[in-house]
Amino acid sequence: MLEAIILCGGEGKRLRPLTENIPKALIKVKGKPLIDYQIEWLKRHNVSKIILACGYLSEKLRKYCGKKVLYSIEKEPLGTGGAIKKALELVEGREFLVVNVDDLTDVNIDEFRKIGSNAICLARHRSNFGVVHTHGDKVLGFQEKPILDNIWVNMGIYLLNRDLKLPDKGSIEREIFPNIELKAYKHNGFWHTINTMKDVEEFEGQHA
């Protein structure tokens, strides 16, 4: 049995005005809310229980998702570490998955689990800018936002053990991960994060 916590408590300020009246998890991309992408992906990999760690406009998320998931509701922002710790009250097993609601991917969870906890999914980093190739003072060519070799970034997907000492409030990425031994799962497939309006436009353009 595998359980998953979806982190969806943030206000999504960089996605305003879309998030002025709805939580980030309910933003529609290609006509479907982000939360649906994540639930469908988890269900395809037989995740038995899904817990939404939510805060901002959580009542709208509860109304939309109903009883198909469980809810851990923050009265104040707790950071990723605090949100996970609070949601653990609803987790029964020792090993559990944590995902960000805004990181869409096709990671094979069954393969990811084989490396054991505590583990983190990584993806190759794509440059935010076009790259210019030169020789001396001569421009040889342009490459639009290439994937950079040997540079890996955090996908926001973790396989954790409940023995991990989590803070009541704070960031798991900044306060916990630097101080423990982590395993890396390098994903070479699809990954698209939705943090800004530009991210939404790029996703919809790529999947037109």
Determine the pLDDT at residue 156: 92
pTM over 0.75: yes
Domain ranges of the chain: 3-122+152-186
Determine the pLDDT at residue 161: 94
Active site residues: 145
Q: Does domain 3-122+152-186 have CATH number 1.10.238.10?
A: no
Determine the pLDDT at residue 127: 64
Please state, in angstroms and rounded to a whole number, the distance separating the CA atoms of residues 119 and 129.
30
Q: pLDDT tens string for the chain (208 positions)?
A: 899 999 998 877 777 877 888 898 999 988 899 999 999 999 999 998 999 999 888 899 999 999 989 999 998 889 999 999 999 999 999 999 999 999 999 999 999 999 998 999 998 876 666 777 787 778 777 777 767 677 798 999 999 999 999 999 999 999 999 999 999 999 988 898 888 888 888 887 765 5
Helix (H) or strand (E) holding 175: helix 172-175
In the chain, at which residue ranges do the beta strands (DSSP E only) sit?
3-8, 28-29, 32-33, 49-54, 70-73, 95-100, 103-105, 119-126, 131-135, 138-143, 147-161, 183-187, 191-193
Helix (H) or strand (E) holding 42: helix 34-44
